[in-house]
Amino acid sequence: MKKKVMFLFNPEAGNNAIEKIVFDIIKNLTIFDCEVTVFPIMPDKGLGSEEILITHASEFKTIVVYGGDGTLNRVVNIMMHQDIHLPIGYIPGGTTNDFSKAIDENGTIESYCRTIAFGNPFSYDVGCFNGTYFNYVAAFGAFTATSYETSRESKKILGYGAYVLNALGNLPASLSNHTKMKFIHDGVEEEGTFVFGAISNSPSVGGFKLPFYEDSTLDDGKFEVLLVAALDNLEVLHNVLSGVATGNINPKYVHAFKTDKIEFICEEDTAWTLDGEDGGKHRLVTVEIHPKSMTIMTSKS
């Protein structure tokens, strides 16, 4: 029996010719014995992810998503809120795609489609940020605005380079935006002033791997927390961040630990990003993990 799949795609995703990619996905899924129904995500036409999933999800065995991490984030939020737990087949089409790196590092359209048709369902942890879900990271501070403030046109032309250029251009302003807060986890209460913070479910954030979290998995029931102290000296900050990137953590300036729940009490409204999308400004934040609450198709055994 053919596998009935709903194919959701973001017409604005990525930096390639969308028509050819969509055709290749449909062709490969069909070759691999899937019955494909296509739904382009066009909210301005009344075809938003929520309307499509609520109306049609029960008709299918798998939800195939083509788009960036932000597109997947919106689909997962809808599925979690609507208690839809069909397996997801993710075909990354954005410019950074951190989450896909944890699922299939060197995927092609053909290999992703083969995985959707014949792969293994993998149940992974989902984060919950004040009632909003995320797949791999909730972050605040320096560089976090880069992903959603970088123009779509620049992303299409430059790909990940657009994020890097935008981050460098905003570096002085980012570093002056210090966040003073208390954070509570595992019965411990601490406080400090930070230039960057990330609560992640992935060893890759912003396109970069974090070596000290290499033993982390998407289903271990824990977040990886990274908090970098506010530093006015760019040279010292550069050395601290270089240490983070190479796994050489300086405990004087960096908090790095694992937990399944963390609360933040910020001195003022603080801007956050969730899976690279604007997460709004908050003063009180609770982030907790929902173990193995979503399922994605993977080629890994």
The domain of 82 spans: 3-118
Residue ranges of the alpha helices (H) in the chain? 18-31, 49-56, 69-81, 98-103, 109-118, 146-149, 152-158, 160-169, 171-175, 234-246
Q: What is the mean pLDDT of each successive set of 10 residues along the chain, which is 301 residues long?
A: 91 68 95 95 83 94 89 93 95 68 72 93 96 91 53 39 39 65 97 89 60 75 90 76 75 91 96 87 97 92 71
285 located within any domain: yes
Mean pLDDT score of the chain, rounded to an integer?
Answer: 81
- Residue appearing with tokens 């014949």: 118
**SS3 call for 88:** strand
Closest CA to 49 of 84, 8, 6: 8
Tens of pLDDT, residue by residue over 189-239, are: 999 999 888 898 866 555 555 655 667 788 999 998 989 898 777 778 777
Residue 83 shares a structural domain with residue 138: no
The predicted structure's pLDDT at residue 15: 54
Residues 6+ apart with CB under 8 A from 25: 7, 9, 64, 66, 91, 109, 112, 113
> Same structural domain for residues 280 and 140?
yes
Residue 295 falls within a domain, yes or no? no
Q: Are 265 and 227 in contact (CB under 8 A)?
A: no
From residue 179, how far is each of 28, 125, 237 by CA, in Å? 48, 28, 16
Q: What is the CATH number of the domain that holds 95?
A: 3.40.50.10330
Q: Coil, strand or helix: which one is 93?
A: coil
The pTM of this model reads 0.83
- Tell me how far CA of residue 46 lies from CA of 10, 40, 82, 131, 277, in angstroms: 14, 11, 18, 25, 22
- Tell me how many domains the chain contains: 2
254 vs 198: CA distance, rounded Å: 12
Residue 123 inside a domain? The answer is no
Q: What angle do CA 146, 150, 155 make, to 5 degrees?
A: 120
- One domain for residues 253 and 148: yes
CATH number, residue 208: 2.60.200.40
- Using the 3D structure, point to which of 73, 95, 118 is the last residue of a domain: 118
Whether 232 is covered by a domain: the verdict is yes
Give yes or no: residues 207 and 76 share one domain.
no
User: Could you tell me if 181 and 237 lie in one domain?
Assistant: yes
Supply the DSSP symbol for 152. H
Q: What is the pLDDT of residue 170?
A: 47
Q: How distant, in Å, are the alpha carbons of 184, 286, 299 from that of 244? A: 22, 25, 30
**Same domain for 90 and 172?**
no
107 with 27: CB under 8 angstroms?
no
Residue 77 — φ and ψ, nearest 5°? -60, -45
Of 197, 225, 201, 203, nearest in space to 135 by CA: 201
Backbone angles phi, psi at 114, to 5 degrees: -60, -40
Token pair of 95 as six digits: 């410019």
Where does a domain end: 63, 85, 118? 118
